[in-house]
A and B are shown apart, each in its own frame.
Chain A
Amino acid sequence: MTIMTKEMSAIPTRTLKLGLTLAMLPELEQLLGDEAIEQKTADNILTLWIDKHQLIPALSLLKSIPEPFNFLFDLYAVDERLRLDKALLPAKDFTLVYQVLSIERNQDVRLKVALEDNEHQASITSIWPSANWYEREAWDLFGIIFDAHPNLCRILLPPTFQGHPLRKEFPCRATETEPFTLDDDKLAREQNALRFNPKEWGMDESSADNDYLFLNLGPNHPSVHGVFRIALQLDGEQIINSVPDIGYHHRGAEKIAERQTWHGFIPYTDRIDYLGGVMNNFPYILAIEQLADIRVSERVECIRVMLAECFRILSHMLFFGTFAQDVGQLSPIFYLFIDREKLFSIIEAITGARMHPSWFRIGGVAQDLPQGWHIMMQEFVDYFPAKLDEYEVMVMQNSILKNRAVGIGKYDTQQAIEWNISGVGIRATGLEWDLRKSRPYSGYENYQFDIPIAHNGDAYDRCQLRVDEMRQSIKIIQQCIDHMPQGNYKADHPLTTPPRSDRSKQDIDTLIQHFMNVSWGGVMPKGESSFAVEATKGINAYTLISDGTSSSYRTRIRTPSFPHLQMIPTMAKGLMVADLIVILASIDFVMADVDR
């Protein structure tokens, strides 16, 4: 049985690349019987509403069939209480969404479970260890209780926080709440909550023969790249146990998305992975364009790819420099910063901004490329590879660095899949999985480039792969320079925001559209759309639920760094504090990307 709203069925979907139906999964069909309800979504991911008791059998089955769906891509909740077309969906008060992915099949399945308010759901941490943080997040932000979860407590918000902010009744603006006060009682409560009690963190205070040292690494530590805290249980300098503590950079981006217009949220995406620049606009814009079926010109696609690859290089450059710095090599970071400046000046010439250009638009990009852009870009493409070779010799072939990084923080492909690792983290284990190849978007299928892989899955390989990826990105940029197509930098679609200015100054229809889009905000068609791109740090995906209004009903931002940090305890166990620093450096995370 398939439920489709009138609006949903009216959406002409893009060509199906991943078209999967329940009939293609006979085992699952048999298990679910007639009870599953299929929902049509703009992204054509098989979306099934199932009974909450069928969830664990269904997920276990999906994980165990041949060519399994063994990658827990995302887990999030939706507050359905204010949905406008709720009657058409089998939704109750809340929905839990489990998106699993099969790398071998290159397909996704999305399972949805409808829950009443205060209804519990069984935890799936026994199937996927990486579900731990996702379920904690769902509890933290929605108040959904997971039974049999090992440690269901706050993750993004402080332990003393009251309420669950992604619930619709929770105020979005500070002006809607009482003014903030901090009286003595509250201060004492907050201070008390900061007291470190090893038992609460699941650590023993002493073993049979000695007491452990508890070290609070962060949230302000030179090597944690932002505000990230790890509680360490040490025996001398050896790590017995480590517990990451995140949330210090949480800004409620998903809540803000429910308040901003579709167009107005673009600058916020830039600041999710703040080193990724337009790479963050990419999945958001593509998800919207998929939802509204906006088709952009080849020129737009090529410009987007070029800029995204520039930001991949920029992010990897910073990674490369800080990796060397964290190992104690002080100079490379300066050389790389100088080269980043060169690339930033090109970004600035094209977009007018440097780190956060917010330059992609719904249906295009903000401006056409400036005259002479290819000269600047060509200069950089000619200049950088030789420099990169030099830096590679300086850093990667240094024997002290090799001694520090080889064999440190090692895991295999199976572990990487269990822990939801994407990007370089999984490619370093020998799996060639890059969305630019496996699910080409924005015309990536037209470019010649390789996916560098390594086989040891250690810190050294992760660093080496990023160096290799920079070379591939240079190759892609060269192809963009050589073959930049002609065409419009904005699509002729009523939802293109803002519409082309030469048109809006000429005809009243476009002017009206312009006025509506910038004053009220464009209205996206109803539906659900998810888009994943290979971002700088792994797979970044935006899932958008539209109720047919000028802003998103629910925006889910799936960031790569969030699950990556969850694996730290597994990677660091038994190593030294200095090794932990190398592991942290090799993951290449940004706390804004983790906490959103």
Chain B
Amino acid sequence: MIILYEVLLVPTSVLLLLLLCAAWSTWLERRLLAVWQDRLGPNRVGPMGLLQVVADMIKIFTKEDWIPPFADKALFVIAPMILMIMTLLGFAIIPFSPNIQIANFDNALLFILALSSLSVYSIMLAGFSSNSKYALLGAMRTAAQMLSYEVFMGLALMGVVIITGSFSLNDIVAAQENYWFILSQPLGFVLFLIAGVAEIHRAPFDLPEAETEIVAGFHTEYSSIKFGMFFIGEYLGVIFISALITTLYFGGWQGPVLPPIIWFLLKTGSFVVFFILLRAAIPRPRYDQLMRLGWTVLLPLTLLNLMLTALWQLTLGF
């Protein structure tokens, strides 16, 4: 019975809940953007427009699933799947609460870095297999952006690892029992946040799909459910990065009074809202400016953060 619970029930319900959350975060984004932009947003379908998501799903499932004749069919079909699978796999190691976690293993953080590297393939393959110029430009931008930002995303995480002495997320959460790592790793947090936005290419780092420049970037040629996968994949990415920030810097599920899972959802939710706010507020830098920022400012800062943490740990730690 316990095995059944652990092997089947938890993963399935987490998966379903995640997909639903990702779907409804599209509603959340549209409503919140509307609030900040002095307009209404989708408010017609169901109470407060909550069923808009259902309507959108029906629409996206019934659209013609068109593969352009000039595209490389196999890669074109596989690309969106890779993104979905990689993002969903990432959630496997997130400790949602003390007893809700699909897999706990020691090198969880390395696993996350590996997954985020793999998801770059999805976007590059989508861009190249579409055989369209806008998609190609999008893919070129993605490759450069994600590869360079991954470098210091990993390095920013190392600060937490040094303090905890472990790559396991459970250990990291447990180590934050007395104080959250945002207090000891403020710079690391800011850097990880920036790298996180760049990794999931959300505004203002949405250059791979900058619609005013390269139409829709890497997914220009996608339609129907394959487009839907990229779309939901993006929101899954937002939730994933938010969950990761919560786990690494904000004590994960820990918190007084309320049950752990509520704390986790509250913290994660507020970061999702923060990502949406970013999109409403900030314009987009140019591609080369983004690269320059990454390599000349953020990378040295990350290294500095790493050295300071190590120094602190060596002198004051035990």
Instruction: Give residues in A with beta carbon < 8 Å to B.
Output: 213-216, 221-223, 236-237, 324-331, 334-335, 338, 398, 400-401, 403-404, 576-579, 581
Contacts and interface: CB of A to CB of B under 8 A. Distances in A.
A222 B216 CA distance: 10
Contacts of B177: none
B138 to A, nearest CB: 11
Given A328-B210, A334-B38, A404-B284, 13 more contacts: A213-B136, A223-B213, A237-B137, A237-B141, A237-B287, A325-B212, A328-B284, A330-B33, A330-B37, A398-B283, A401-B283, A577-B214, A581-B213
Nearest to A580: B213
Contacts of B206: 328
Given A400-B204, A581-B212, A324 B286 contact: no
Interface in B271-315: 279-289
A334 B283 contact: no
A328 B37 contact: no
A576 B286 contact: yes
Given A222-B211, A330-B37, A331-B36, A577 B282 contact: no
22 contacts: A213-B133, A213-B136, A214-B133, A215-B133, A215-B134, A221-B215, A223-B213, A236-B140, A237-B137, A237-B141, A326-B212, A327-B212, A328-B284, A329-B282, A330-B33, A330-B37, A330-B280, A334-B38, A338-B38, A400-B204, A576-B288, A578-B210
Nearest to A322: B212
B50 to A, nearest CB: 23
Contact of A577 (B36, B137, B211, B280): B137
Most buried by B among A236, A330, A576: A330
Contacts of A334: 37-39
Interface string B209-223: 011111100000000
A578 B287 contact: yes
B243 interface: no
B288 A328 contact: no
Interface residues of B, number: 31
Contacts of A578: 210, 213, 286-287
Given A577-B137, A578-B213, A581-B212, A330 B203 contact: yes
A151 B267 CA distance: 63
B290 to A, nearest CB: 10
Interface in B208-240: 210-215
Contact of B282 (A222, A223, A338, A400): A400
Q: Top 8 A-B pairs ranked by shortest CB distance? A: A328-B284, A329-B283, A334-B37, A328-B283, A223-B212, A327-B283, A578-B286, A326-B212
Contact of B285 (A216, A222, A404): A404
A400 B284 contact: yes
Contact of B38 (A237, A330, A335, A581): A335
B286 A222 contact: no
Contacts of B141: 237
Contact of B215 (A222, A237, A325, A400): A222
A215 B140 CA distance: 14
A221 B212 CA distance: 8
Contacts of A221: 215
Most buried by A among B33, B203, B284, B287: B284
A166 to B, nearest CB: 36
Contacts of A215: 133-134, 137
A308 to B, nearest CB: 28
Contacts of A338: 38
Contacts of B211: 222
A328 B202 CA distance: 12
A331 B280 contact: yes
A115 B4 CA distance: 94
A576 B204 CA distance: 18
Nearest to B39: A334
B148 to A, nearest CB: 16
A410 B284 CA distance: 21
Contact of A328 (B36, B137, B140, B212): B212
A327 B282 CA distance: 10
Contacts of B134: 215
B154 to A, nearest CB: 26
Contacts of A223: 212-213
Contacts of A329: 281-284
Contact of B281 (A213, A331, A576): A331
A334 B215 CA distance: 20
Contacts of B36: 331
Contacts of A237: 137, 140-141, 287
A183 to B, nearest CB: 25
Interface string B5-28: 000000000000000000000000
Contacts of B280: 330-331
A221 B213 CA distance: 8
B279 A330 contact: yes
B213 A577 contact: yes
A328 B39 CA distance: 19
B37 A324 contact: no
Interface in B140-185: 140-141
Nearest to B211: A222
Contacts of B289: 403-404
A325 B204 CA distance: 12
Contacts of A325: 212
B288 to A, nearest CB: 7
Contacts of A216: 133
A328 B133 contact: no
Contacts of B203: 328, 330
A222 B279 CA distance: 18
Contacts of B281: 329, 331
A368 B175 CA distance: 77
A514 B284 CA distance: 58
Contacts of A579: 286
A403 B287 CA distance: 12
A325 B212 CA distance: 8
Contact of B286 (A335, A398, A404): A404
Given A213-B133, A331-B36, A400 B285 contact: yes
B283 A576 contact: no
Contacts of A236: 140
A404 to B, nearest CB: 6
Nearest to B205: A328
A596 B141 CA distance: 38
A216 B132 CA distance: 11
Contacts of B282: 328-329, 398, 400
Most buried by A among B36, B39, B210: B210
Interface string B117-140: 000000000000000011011001
B220 to A, nearest CB: 11
B70 to A, nearest CB: 15
Contacts of B288: 576
B284 A327 contact: yes
A403 B290 CA distance: 11
Contacts of A335: 37-38
Contacts of B140: 236-237
Given A213-B133, A335-B37, A403-B289, A324 B214 contact: no
Contacts of B284: 327-329, 400, 404
B134 to A, nearest CB: 8
Contacts of A324: 283
B77 to A, nearest CB: 26
Nearest to A238: B288
A237 B287 CA distance: 9
